[in-house]
Amino acid sequence: MFSEEITNYSWKETTEQIYAMTDADVRRALTKEHCCIDDFMALVSPAAAPYLEQMATLSKRYTEERFGHTMSLFIPLYLTNSCANSCVYCGFHISNPMPRTILTPEEMENEYKAIKQLGPFENLLLVTGENPAKAGVPYLARALDKAKEYFANLKIEVMPLKTEEYKELTNHGLNGVICFQETYNAARYNIYHPRGMKSKFDWRVNAPDRMGMAGVHSIGMGVLIGLEEWRTDVTMMARHLRYLQRKYWRTKYSVNFPRLRPSDNGGFQPNVVMTDRELAQLTFAMRIFDHDVDISYSTRETAHFRDHMAPLGVTTMSAESHTEPGGYATYPEALEQFAISDNRTAVEVCKRLKELGIEPVWKDWDASFDYKQQTI
Ligand code: SF4
């Protein structure tokens, strides 16, 4: 399990190593077809900042080689904002006296139908807070069963589950699971996640292992940028990615780097603010490090930045997202989990991608592929 592997790496030493990277280390990493973790550290280090153009060119080349000129589009649907955890940066935390909603089967279906009116979406991400009593595995199974009638590719972003629970959900059409570690700094993890199941670092960090053992087709990873030193966090994530790829080599992986933004209303303020330039550097570094990993940008990022990055390394984007439960049809006025920056419609996003020479892909996976593979 990765909880054991991660004890081999010191947070402090990793940070020192990244900041000790030199111009020569960056230049060496840029000449390599296959980068190691040390190379990745060089590419995310401050020493790589002057090489952004060169990194962009390489990242673009690798992306085109592996993915062509395409962008996979998905849409998230929040099923509930009820949550037993108290993550200090999230509006859905248990102590927030806000109305809580758990979509009923009828409401879910209305949402599925409303999404289909926005565009020919086939990639759906079902999202919940962590409420295993009321929105646990049986509830998710029902949501997937119904969603299968409308969408070809189903992913979830919910509480970490047991191996057998992931397995059970794959029988209901589940294709992928996203679970962000938020931060790999085990010593400070509980400052941000003080109670509930999310306070258990090992349980969370081992979730991708359990997904791999359950045979989940696609595993999504991420760190929340703004909690800890981002360069160290993404290096830990790169180690985690390599570890998983060695162990569960049939699985497809995706990464995401959501940025916490400073809040005007006295809410949680990020400890570190990552600039657009730094996010671009990280995106290029990840693509140069791993030519095959899906790199996903959400509508947290602005339209301008997403358009700029679309040809340079990003391979998956959400569009026209609502981050409140029932936001497409049932409760369009409810409190969002986080504010959207790119407010364009799916049709507008699509049109812009085409202008940029990128073909939007609504459906890039079908569960029947699994069946075909088994019968070949
Ligand atoms: S981040 Fe997720 S687990 Fe944490 S409070 Fe928000 S909804 Fe709950």
Do 224 and 180 contact (CB within 8 A), yes or no?
yes
Find the CATH number of the domain harbouring 204: 3.20.20.70
- Does residue 204's CB lie within 6 angstroms of at least one atom of ligand 1? no
Ligand 1, atom nearest to 196 Cα: 3
| Residue 216, Ramachandran bin (φ over 0: left; ψ between -120 and 50: alpha; else beta) | beta
Reading the chain (376 residues) residue by residue, the pLDDT tens digits are 999 999 999 999 999 999 999 999 999 999 999 999 999 999 999 999 999 999 999 999 999 999 999 999 999 999 999 999 999 999 889 988 988 999 999 999 999 999 999 999 999 999 999 999 999 999 999 999 999 999 999 999 999 999 999 999 999 999 999 999 999 999 999 999 999 999 999 999 999 999 999 999 999 999 999 999 999 999 999 999 999 999 999 999 999 999 997 765 567 899 999 999 999 999 999 999 999 999 999 999 999 999 999 999 999 999 999 988 999 998 766 666 667 889 999 999 999 999 999 999 998 766 555 544 443 3
Residue 84 CA, closest ligand 1 atom number: 8
Tell me the C-alpha distance between 9 and 2, whole Å. 11
CA–CA separation, 157 and 189 (whole Å): 20
Which ligand 1 atom lies nearest to the CA of residue 129? 7
Q: Tokens 């936001």, residue?
A: 327
Instruction: Say yes or no: CB of residue 293 within 6 Å of ligand 1.
Output: no
Q: Which atom of ligand 1 is the closest one to the Cα of 128?
A: 7
Quote the pTM value.
0.94
Q: Which two tokens stand for residue 181?
A: 């570690």
Q: Whole-angstrom Cα distance, residue 168 to residue 139? A: 12
pLDDT of residue 376: 38
Ligand 1: centre distance to CA 158 (Å): 9
What's the CA gap between 332 and 157, in Å, rounded?
21
CA distance 371 to 376: 9
Domains contained in the chain, number: 1
Whether 287 is in the pocket of ligand 1, judged by its Cβ within 6 Å, is no
Q: Six-digit token pair at 20?
A: 């000790």
Count CB-CB contacts under 10 A for residue 108.
23
User: What is the pLDDT, as a whole number, of residue 374?
Assistant: 44
Distance (Å, rounded) from C-alpha 207 to C-alpha 357?
Answer: 37
If one residue of 81, 87, 203 were mutated to test the ligand 1 pocket, choosing by the most ligand atoms within 8 A of its CB, it would be 87
Residue-level pLDDT at 365: 63
Q: Where in the sequence is the domain holding 305, given as residue range(s)?
A: 2-375
List the residue whose alpha carbon is closest to atom 4 of ligand 1: 87
